[in-house]
Every structure is written in C-alpha cells, then in structure tokens.
Amino acid sequence: MTDVINLRRERKRRKSLEDAKQAETNRLLYGRTKAQKQSDSLEKLRKKALLDGKRLREED
C-alpha cells in the first residue's frame, strides 16, 4: 500500500523544485560580470568573422 501524502504540500514542493531549477538557469544566463559578457561577445564576433572568411562566394 502506498503512503498517504498531502497534495497541497506536494504541489508546493514541486513548485519549489521548479523555481530552484529556473533560478539556476537564470544565474547561468544573467549572473555574469561585464568582462565575461564582453569576452563572450568578442568570441562570438571572432567566430562569425572566421566562418564568413571561409564562405565560398558565387561569381556572377
């Protein structure tokens, strides 16, 4: 036989776990220093330039 649980408590527990997961995601996305953001931006630009430099262009 299964254990009897309080549904209200279970809902609150699940919401708490979901909120904690969302908070962790937000910390990873938004919890960075200005230097880290700038570094990522420069890296993204460098990769884009490198990729564009290797692109084959069609001659008209």
Q: What is the pTM of this model?
A: 0.48
pLDDT at 59: 66
pLDDT at position 52: 86
pLDDT averaged per 10 residues, the chain (length 60): 89 97 91 90 94 77
- Which 3-state string (H, E, C) describes the chain? CCCCCCHHHHHHHHHHHHHHHHHHHHHHHHCCCHHHHHHHHHHHHHHHHHHHHCCCCCCC
Phi then psi for residue 42, to 5 deg, are -65, -40
What local confidence, expressed as pLDDT, does residue 9 receive? 95
